[in-house]
């Protein structure tokens, strides 16, 4: 077990970890009714500071999720950004960390979902980013559990309750001896992993399911598309058939705290030669450089004030 952080942030205040609690009688606890983001704070190459990667985009996505859920977020982006910075600083993180920002539905009448009758709030949890990298790659299956369709519970909405769906797929994959799963849609197209977007490479072209394929519109996914295009690589967003995973030369996953993870087999079919491919490695390195580069001011928000990091 990793050590608990010292502080959390709850409804406008830094609180001791033990006091970072919501009542059991809240819709957040009872039904998982929240919208959330996990923002990475990465240590720069020079070690001068930690920088949030694409904080603005994360807050924009939080606003979209909350809008669809008719969940009022009672803080401005500036207030949320300042709170996230303060929480990381108060916990004294000097290495990579992740901040989970959660807008939640609180207490309301029994059996009512009317937003105007339910309190809302925000809490944040900051933790060291210890998620193990898997440079050797993942062995994944395609899941029998299908990704939620947009007409039922849109995956582009990052709602806590949506994770019941991907959790089923991930647990089943592990029970069956795989590292993780790729979920397909009800129509059979490739969507994403439980906590990551998926890319494949076919004849030098990098392909990822388009935003209408039933995916979370990943911030790392967009960063890879941007970086790949800057590098002159052909990057295509389009529907992807399941069997293309078996035909691909390379497959990889992208997510906030881990970056790029190679996938070396799908349903026990080896991907290419069964080892991480060259474009996967190049794009992974480009992303790693970008998240640790404070000169990318459009993407990097400093956590500590200058001089506060030793
Ligand atoms: C379902 C799902 N897809 C994709 C991702 C990757 O998104 P991002 O790159 O914004 O972290 C996540 C992140 O946790 C996720 O939960």
**92 CA to centre of ligand 1 in angstroms:** 26
The whole-number average pLDDT for the span 267-295 is 95
- C-beta of 254 in contact with ligand 1 (< 6 A): yes
Question: Which residue has its alpha carbon closest to ligand 1 atom 14?
Answer: 195
- C-beta of 97 in contact with ligand 1 (< 6 A): no
Q: According to the model, what pLDDT value does residue 221 have?
A: 98
Q: According to the model, what pLDDT value does residue 2 have?
A: 67
Q: What is the pLDDT of residues 108-166, one digit of tens each?
A: 988 788 999 999 999 999 999 976 778 889 999 999 999 999 999 999 999 999 999 99
- What is the best residue among 182, 196, 227 to mutate for testing ligand 1's pocket, by most ligand atoms within 8 Å of CB? 196
Q: According to the model, what pLDDT value does residue 297 have?
A: 78
Angle in degrees, CA 87, 68, 31, rounded to 5? 70
Q: What is the pLDDT of residues 150-180, one digit of tens each?
A: 999 999 999 999 999 999 999 999 999 999 9
**308 CA to centre of ligand 1 in angstroms:** 31
Which percentage of the chain shows pLDDT scores above 90?
Answer: 91
The model's confidence at residue 43, banded by pLDDT at 50, 70 and 90, is very high
**307 CA to centre of ligand 1 in angstroms:** 33
**218 CA to centre of ligand 1 in angstroms:** 5
Question: Which residue has its alpha carbon closest to ligand 1 atom 1?
Answer: 195
Q: According to the model, what pLDDT value does residue 135 have?
A: 81
Q: Return phi, psi of residue 181, to 5°.
A: -130, 155
- C-beta of 162 in contact with ligand 1 (< 6 A): no
**138 CA to centre of ligand 1 in angstroms:** 17
The model's confidence at residue 307, banded by pLDDT at 50, 70 and 90, is low
Q: According to the model, what pLDDT value does residue 309 have?
A: 54
The model's confidence at residue 308, banded by pLDDT at 50, 70 and 90, is low
Q: How does the average pLDDT of the chain come out, rounded?
A: 95
Give the C-alpha distances (Å, rounded to integers) separating 72 from 2, 76, 105, 120, 129.
33, 11, 9, 7, 29
**11 CA to centre of ligand 1 in angstroms:** 25
**177 CA to centre of ligand 1 in angstroms:** 23
Question: Counting Cβ atoms within 10 Å, is residue 25 exposed (0-12), middle (13-18) or buried (19+)?
Answer: exposed
Check for a shared fold between 7-129 and 138-291: no
Inform me whether the pLDDT recorded for 195 exceeds 80. Answer: yes
Would you say 288 and 282 are in contact if contact means Cβ atoms under 8 Å apart? Answer: no
Q: According to the model, what pLDDT value does residue 3 have?
A: 78
**259 CA to centre of ligand 1 in angstroms:** 10
Specify the CATH architecture of the domain 138-291.
Alpha-Beta Barrel (3.20)
142 DSSP β-pair partners: 182
- E-strand ranges in the chain read 7-10, 13-16, 34-43, 50-53, 97-105, 120-128, 138-142, 180-184, 190-192, 197-202, 205-208, 235-237, 250-255, 259-266, 269-270, 300-302
Atom of ligand 1 nearest to the CA of 257: 11
Does CATH number 1.10.1750.10 belong to domain 7-129?
no
**297 CA to centre of ligand 1 in angstroms:** 23
Domain ranges of the chain: 7-129, 138-291
Q: What is the pLDDT of residues 235-266, one digit of tens each?
A: 999 999 999 999 999 999 999 999 999 999 99
What does the alpha-carbon distance between residue 238 and residue 258 come to, in Å, rounded to a whole number? 24
- C-beta of 180 in contact with ligand 1 (< 6 A): no
- C-beta of 216 in contact with ligand 1 (< 6 A): yes
Three-state SS string over 253-264 comes to EEECCCEEEEEE
Of 27-41, 104-118, 147-161, 292-306, the least confident: 292-306
Which percentage of the chain shows pLDDT scores above 70?
Answer: 97
- C-beta of 26 in contact with ligand 1 (< 6 A): no
Inform me whether the pLDDT recorded for 1 exceeds 60. Answer: no
- C-beta of 250 in contact with ligand 1 (< 6 A): no
Question: Which residue has its alpha carbon closest to ligand 1 atom 7?
Answer: 218
Q: According to the model, what pLDDT value does residue 306 have?
A: 65
């Amino acid at each position: 077990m990793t050590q608990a952080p010292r502080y959390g942030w709850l409804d406008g205040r830094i609180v001791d970890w033990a006091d970072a609690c919501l009542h059991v009688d809240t819709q957040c606890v009872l039904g998982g009714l929240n919208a959330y983001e996990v923002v990475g704070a990465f240590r720069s190459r020079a070690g001068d500071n930690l920088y949030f990667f694409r904080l603005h985009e994360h807050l924009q996505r939080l606003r979209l999720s909350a809008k669809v859920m008719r969940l009022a977020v009672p803080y401005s982006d500036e207030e949320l950004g300042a709170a996230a910075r303060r929480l990381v600083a108060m916990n004294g993180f000097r290495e990579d960390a992740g901040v989970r920002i959660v807008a939640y539905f609180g207490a309301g009448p029994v059996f009512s979902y009317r937003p105007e009758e339910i309190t809302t709030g925000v809490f944040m949890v900051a933790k060291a980013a210890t998620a193990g990298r898997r440079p050797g790659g993942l062995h994944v299956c395609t899941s029998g559990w299908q990704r939620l369709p947009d007409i039922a519970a849109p995956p582009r909405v990052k709602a806590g309750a949506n994770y019941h769906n991907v959790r089923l797929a991930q647990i089943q994959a592990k029970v069956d001896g795989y590292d993780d799963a790729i979920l397909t849609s009800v129509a059979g197209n490739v969507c994403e992993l439980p906590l990551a977007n998926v890319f494949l490479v076919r004849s030098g072209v990098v392909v990822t399911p388009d935003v209408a394929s039933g995916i979370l519109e990943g911030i790392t996914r967009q960063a890879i598309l941007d970086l790949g295009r800057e590098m002159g690589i052909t990057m295509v967003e389009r529907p992807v058939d399941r069997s293309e995973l078996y035909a691909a030369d390379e497959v990889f996953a992208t997510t906030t705290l881990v970056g790029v993870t190679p996938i070396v087999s799908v349903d026990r079919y080896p991907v290419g030669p069964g080892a991480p491919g060259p474009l996967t490695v190049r794009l992974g390195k480009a992303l790693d450089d970008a998240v640790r580069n404070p000169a990318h001011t459009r993407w990097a928000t400093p956590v500590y004030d200058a001089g506060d990091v030793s």
